[in-house]
Amino acid sequence: MSKVIGVDIGGTKILSAIVDENGNTIKTVRVPSEGKEGRDRILYHLYQTIEELISRDIIGIGIGTAGQVDPDTGVIVTATPNLKDWAGTPLKDIIEDRFNLPTYVDNDGNVAALGEWWIGGGRGARCLLCLTIGTGIGSGIVYEGKVFRGAKGVGAELGHMSIKYDGIRCNCGGIGCIEAYASGPALMKKLQEKGRSFGNPDEIQQAAESGDRIVLEAVKEIGVLLGYAMVSFINIFNPDIILLSGGVSNLGDFLIGPVRDIVDTYALPGGRDVKIGRAVLGENAGVVGAAALVYLKGAK
């Protein structure tokens, strides 16, 4: 059976896996991305993870990366400081030259959505929206079996929907983006402001599960804001299902409950029957979807 390497490059980590043609994840490798250290460090870690997985059975490499990507050329068009100096990197050419395998590159949110549509919780959906809530808020839309990318392939950046025109400045340079309010670092910051500090999302989840009032309040606050952004997504796209992945989504119903309440109250009634849940593939959605790019020849 042929196999593919799927890679998911985020602001904090690079997750890579060998994925077979049925979407089974065979072996996974996790390394830091050190995105804030710039292009050379990111590439260093990327090469390392591919080298660990490569063998004669591998027929191609699929990469989902944070940043806006031109999926035809595999060049990074823009990136926030989460992946410093990443803009302008001809990633497809670099990887093809180095490993001599056909390589596809796309945005990380797009591939997470593709993975969920291919073998996860979005199977059979006509209009699937996927939000990855981690270092940033990534997103992807699969409509009638195709990844929606817009005119130049750089669309579907739902994390940069502004919910407040006079709000806080986002990493992207915009103002009031939902990413600035509801990403992992935004939640950490909110908790710090309430006098609580946590090392990672798992600790926050444990605190929520043990009924920590301050944590539950902070999670509810970001859930409400996420809900308002979702109202706009629902009114624009009329998805049948919205799936959440990434570290913050592990908060499950603590987060999804407030989102659901806002959607049920404020989305235009025709679209309110949307299902909202967690990604079935969890943190593997990105690597599986990146591999799907190879099997589905770019999913165009």
Q: Write the interaction track for Zn ion spanning residues 153-192; mark x where CB under 5 A is met and - where it is not.
A: -------x---------x-x-x--x---------------
Query: For ligand BMX, which is the closer residue by CB, 16 or 135?
Result: 135
Q: Which of residues 183-222 bind ligand BMX (CB under 6 A)?
A: none
Sign of the C-alpha dihedral computed for residues 210, 216, 222 and 227 taken in this order: positive
Which pair of structure tokens corresponds to residue 228? Answer: 């308002």
Residues paired with residue 205 on neighbouring β-strands, in sequence order? none
Query: For Zn ion, which is the closer residue by CB, 172 or 285?
Result: 172
- Site for ligand BMX (CB under 6 A): how many residues? 21
CB atoms within 10 A of CB 296: 17
Q: Which of residues 140-179 bind ligand BMX (CB under 6 A)?
A: 157, 159, 179
Name the 3-class secondary structure at 45.
helix
Q: Residue of minimal CB distance from ligand BMX? A: 136
Which pair of structure tokens corresponds to residue 153? Answer: 């392939």
**Rounded Cα distance, 233 and 244, in Å:** 14
Exposed/middle/buried for residue 256 (C-beta within 10 Å: 0-12, 13-18, 19+)? buried
Q: How far is the CB of 188 from Zn ion (least distance, A)?
A: 18
**Backbone phi and psi for residue 219, each to the nearest 5 degrees, phi listed first:** -65, -40
Query: For ligand BMX, which is the closer residue by CB, 6 or 10?
Result: 10
Determine which residue in the list 5, 46, 79, 288 makes contact with ligand BMX, applying CB under 6 A. Answer: 79
Which pair of structure tokens corresponds to residue 184? Answer: 């992992």
Query: For ligand BMX, which is the closer residue by CB, 14 or 263?
Result: 14
Determine which residue in the list 122, 136, 153, 258 makes contact with ligand BMX, applying CB under 6 A. Answer: 136
Q: Where are the beta strands (DSSP E) in the chain?
A: 3-9, 13-20, 25-32, 58-65, 68-70, 75-78, 103-107, 127-133, 137-143, 146-147, 241-245, 275-278
**Rounded Cα distance, 258 and 10, in Å:** 27
Instruction: Provide the residue count of the chain.
Output: 300
Query: For Zn ion, which is the closer residue by CB, 16 or 82?
Result: 82
Q: Does 105 bind ligand BMX (CB under 6 A)?
A: no
Instruction: Tell me which of ligand BMX, Zn ion, none is bound by residue 290, counting a contact when its beta carbon lies within the kind-specific cut-off of 5 to 8 angstroms.
Output: none
Name the 3-class secondary structure at 135.
coil
β-pairing verdict for 103-107 and 58-65? parallel
Q: How far is the CB of 277 from ligand BMX (least distance, A)?
A: 20
Query: For ligand BMX, which is the closer residue by CB, 134 or 289?
Result: 134
Matching residue, tokens 């770019």: 298
Determine which residue in the list 3, 5, 7, 11 makes contact with ligand BMX, applying CB under 6 A. Answer: 11
Instruction: Tell me which of Zn ion, ligand BMX, none is bound by residue 177, counting a contact when its beta carbon lies within the kind-specific cut-off of 5 to 8 angstroms.
Output: Zn ion
Query: For ligand BMX, which is the closer residue by CB, 267 or 283?
Result: 283
Q: Which of residues 83-142 bind Zn ion (CB under 5 A)?
A: none
Given the rule CB under 5 A, which residues bind Zn ion? 160, 170, 172, 174, 177
Given the rule CB under 6 A, which residues bind ligand BMX? 10-11, 66-68, 79-80, 82-83, 107-109, 132, 134-138, 157, 159, 179
